Structure 1
Amino acid sequence: MAVFWAAARVIVGFVFLWSFLDKLFGLGFSATAGWLDGRSPTSGFLQHGASNGPGVFFRDLTGGGGGWLDWVFMITMAAVGLGLVLGIMTRLAALGGIVWMGLFYLSTYAPTDNPVVDIHVVVVLVLVGIMLSGAGRAYGLGRWWESRWTSGRAPWLLGG
């Protein structure tokens, strides 16, 4: 099981890391222009489902993207991705990923593919499994990280 959860951790981590890189540089996958080119990395998810439901809240949050939310988005995408890929602060990174997946789900509600269970829900379940399995300790830097940084400081959250 350790190999499965380690692989899931790295794969989901790369999803977040790729989102960061694509939105930073505009690599042409989900973002045609990058943050470095002056495009707001949050404009897509803020505008996607903004015509009704909870999506309206996200559109109105910053007036369509930009500002402080871009910084929060980019920093946390990089932190979640690196934490999961490297296996450090895995529980905290997974918790951050769960929060973002929940926000993405709400911003696009109701999903067009399946109004109950879409990919965001599946990723949340995988992230919960990563949190509960200690996936950062297997094939990651989790054991090293715990021995250096968590001695008495919330090992349940920062650990692998």
Structure 2
Amino acid sequence: MTAIAERQIPKVTAPAVGIDNTRTTTAGTAARYVFAGVRLALGWTFLWAFVDKVFGLGFATPTERAWLNGGNPTKGFLSGAEGPFAGIYHDLAGTAFANWAFLLGLLGIGLALTLGIGMRIAAATGATLYIMMWSVALPPQTNPFLDEHLTLAAVLVGLTLIGAGRTLGLGTTWEKLPIVRRLPFLK
């Protein structure tokens, strides 16, 4: 009679994706700061778009078209939609839902990127917003397929995968919060 021994195989999970902070190299440190800078720059572009559309500071949005002055932040852009999704965007143009969703999205994505918190949600929603903006004007004017919106969507996802919120941001502290540990999608 033979006995079969049951082997216990330990469960192994893949290490967290990100820049290894245990081995500090000059290039690794520089890369962390470069990507933190890219994160902050993208955060600022979202925050600036929100502030300019709400208050009409005269850069992309004239004062008389400010949301606070009765302007409509989605009407002009979505009304000019071309390509296969034009009908959908024309229907959404200027609706209260589109205006609120757009402005809250700009604010939320901008704050999350700037602070380095909620990077997964910021990347998902920011990439979705960029892809939607790309799809409003298909085909792009300067390339048969690719434009900066798709590139920036990929950059947002990449910043999240490397943990860019941990450098020059509150990402490390955020990730230690009990609710974030319990609900990892909040990272």
* TM-score between both structures, scaled by the size of structure 1: 0.90
Is residue 144 from structure 1 mapped to residue 173 from structure 2 by the alignment? yes
Indicate which of 105, 113, 127 corresponds to 2:156.
127
The residue that corresponds to 2:78 in the other structure is 46
Q: Could you say what secondary structure the match of 1:139 adopts? A: coil
The residue that corresponds to 2:36 in the other structure is 6
For 1:31 and 1:21, how far apart are their aligned partners in 2?
A: 10
Q: Which amino acid aligns with 1:28?
A: G
Q: Could you say what secondary structure the match of 1:150 adopts? A: helix
Q: Which amino acid aligns with 1:11?
A: A
Deviation (angstroms), 1:44 = 2.9
The residue that corresponds to 2:89 in the other structure is 58
* TM-score between both structures, scaled by the size of structure 2: 0.77
Higher relative contact order (CA 8 A, sep 6+): 1
For 1:158 and 1:136, how far apart are their aligned partners in 2?
A: 12
How well do the aligned residues superpose, as a CA RMSD in angstroms?
1.4
- Which blocks of at least 5 consecutive residues in structure 1 are unaligned? none
Is residue 24 from structure 1 mapped to residue 51 from structure 2 by the alignment? no
- Which blocks of at least 5 consecutive residues in structure 2 are unaligned? 1-30
Q: Could you say what secondary structure the match of 1:128 adopts? A: helix
Q: Which amino acid aligns with 2:81?
A: G
Question: Any runs of at least 4 consecutive aligned residues in structure 1 with deviations exceeding 2 A, and if so which?
Answer: none
More helix, by proportion: 1
Is the 8 Å Cα contact of residues 45 and 108 (structure 1) preserved in structure 2?
A: no
